[in-house]
Structure 1
């Protein structure tokens, strides 16, 4: 998945810019968190090199992810090989079917005086590279995510393979309560620790930048920024 950005306006609303840096089409999906409205579109096709901008209200929270291998009819009904959201072009409140790389964000409500929290999550597995590149007027913020193709080094027992090689990598958390990739890194310090079984502990993924991949909310420390533009 290429680039998404949100630019904070005076009203504290923001605009996400989503770009596709892949060599093939992707179908981004969006899902609002509890208590926040769905965006103006919750699913669309994005050609290689194409960019789409989505306005978000102050305080919005939710997820953005990319679907691959989608086929939809004229009514927007169909299916995606990865990241499917109920067999529809417009996800309309449905989340991504794992495995899928997720960009998660909670925007502040008070403009530049409030903070935004963001992360790139592999808790639900991995299907595509996703990177968030914050650009803040208040100072530097840290990039989070990974542009490497983790499908190439995914353990065979976790691979989703449609006959032409791995197109996604299932989360070991979902499969066996193991810690997928065995590391958590947060968007500020980049600190991490391996806690998973040896088969998944870093297993070829040691080059990951700040990212998190297990669901212990008490340990989760996502990046934060204020009055910013973020690219993913």
Structure 2
């Protein structure tokens, strides 16, 4: 199961300088995946907020500028095509994050870990959600949970202000997003 809305692991993609980008979602897994899609405030919801991808299935989604692909728990690659910019490059994580998910963050169904919640979602504490007094880069710091995922996927956005090494912006790109 793949989820794309976790505060714990983020990959930020901005499609700048054009009316839209095409996100091509490809399921290379042996099982169905369920990508959820979250857009920025004020932007239209894409694919009704998520969809089911059967093994081998490919879906194309037209996305307006400034969209956000917001996390994952399965091996994933995001490959831009036709884009430009100093930070326009492929992003890959081959780790199965369900295998490394701390017990207190595990989403378990029928005895199997099928997802990994963000620490914010699991505990709803300002220091884990980067809200209230922790709502800026000076007070919101990596946590024991975000560090686990950063070690597994160094290119992944692991907490709300993990911008320096993990924000990849392309001008005029389309994206191939492959699971597994």
Whether TM-score is above 0.5 comes out as yes
Partner of 2:136: none
Q: Secondary structure of 2:151's partner? A: coil
**Structure 1 stretches of 4+ moved >6 Å:** none
Greater per-residue helix proportion: 2
Could you state the TM-score of these two structures normalised by the residue count of structure 2? 0.62
Partner of 1:224: 169
111, 135, 138: which is aligned to 1:164?
Answer: 111
CA contact (8 A) 1:33 1:62 kept: yes
199, 205, 210: which is aligned to 2:155?
Answer: 210
- C-alpha deviation, 1:179, in angstroms: 5.8
90, 93, 96: which is aligned to 1:146?
Answer: 93
CA contact (8 A) 2:74 2:96 kept: yes
Partner of 1:87: none
Unaligned runs of 5+ in 2: 3-12, 130-140
- C-alpha deviation, 1:54, in angstroms: 1.8
Unaligned runs of 5+ in 1: 64-102, 105-120, 181-193
Mapped to 2, the partners of 1:231 and 1:154 lie a distance apart of 26
Partner of 1:45: 52
Mapped to 2, the partners of 1:195 and 1:37 lie a distance apart of 31
User: 1:139-168: CA deviations, max 9, x gaps?
Assistant: 672223523111112222222222332111
173, 185, 190: which is aligned to 2:120?
Answer: 173
Structure number with larger C-alpha Rg: 1
CA contact (8 A) 2:21 2:172 kept: no
- C-alpha deviation, 1:220, in angstroms: 3.0
Mapped to 2, the partners of 1:22 and 1:170 lie a distance apart of 21
Count of matched residue positions in the alignment of Structure 1 and Structure 2? 147
When the two chains are superposed, the root-mean-square deviation of aligned CA atoms in Å is 3.4
